[in-house]
Amino acid sequence: MTKTNLTNLLCYKLFNVVKVNEQLIDRAMEPFHLSRTQWKVMARFNFLALPCTQQQLLTSMSIDRAHLTRTLDQLEQRGLIVRERLASDKRAYNVFPTKDGIRLLKKIEQILQAESHSLARGLSQKEKSMLGKLLDRVASNILEELK
């Protein structure tokens, strides 16, 4: 029986890029004492309309409810976010960054921008554009499979 070298598969290559990219970002986040989940939650505030609900954060991320709740507890204890109970639904919360959280978010943005430049080092502008379009197409293909 011939074994397939999984490292040659596109899905593995994508997984590996994400894995090593997250490791590099984790290292850049060390001075801020942020775990991977913490910096990802903070970065989500760039993608969601503020204030967002805890449920919107949960839906936009690939973590379970308990992990998100623990992470939000940690971020709230550090004074980086605030949760406010919704008047219309006593079980739901709006979540938004504090002033300190916004300052940290700007640093996270800088780190992610620097990482993006690092990822594309050595690529021409045309190659960067093509890579972006190809990754968008790959994501679209995955979304089609999920339907």
- pLDDT per residue, tens digit, the chain (147 aa), is 777 788 889 999 999 999 999 999 999 999 999 999 999 999 999 888 888 899 999 999 989 999 999 999 999 999 999 999 888 887 888 999 999 999 999 999 999 999 999 999 999 999 999 999 999 999 999 999 998
Q: Is residue 101 part of a domain?
A: yes
Q: Tokens 């921008």: give the residue.
A: 113
Q: Is residue 1 part of a domain?
A: no
pTM for the whole structure: 0.84
**Measuring CA to CA, which residue among 68, 72, 69, 90 is closest to residue 81?**
72
Q: Is residue 22 part of a domain?
A: yes
What sign results for the dihedral spanned by CA atoms 26, 29, 35, 39? negative
Q: Is residue 56 part of a domain?
A: yes
Structural domain boundaries enclosing 60: 6-146
Q: Burial level of 34, CB count in 10 A (0-12/13-18/19+)? A: buried
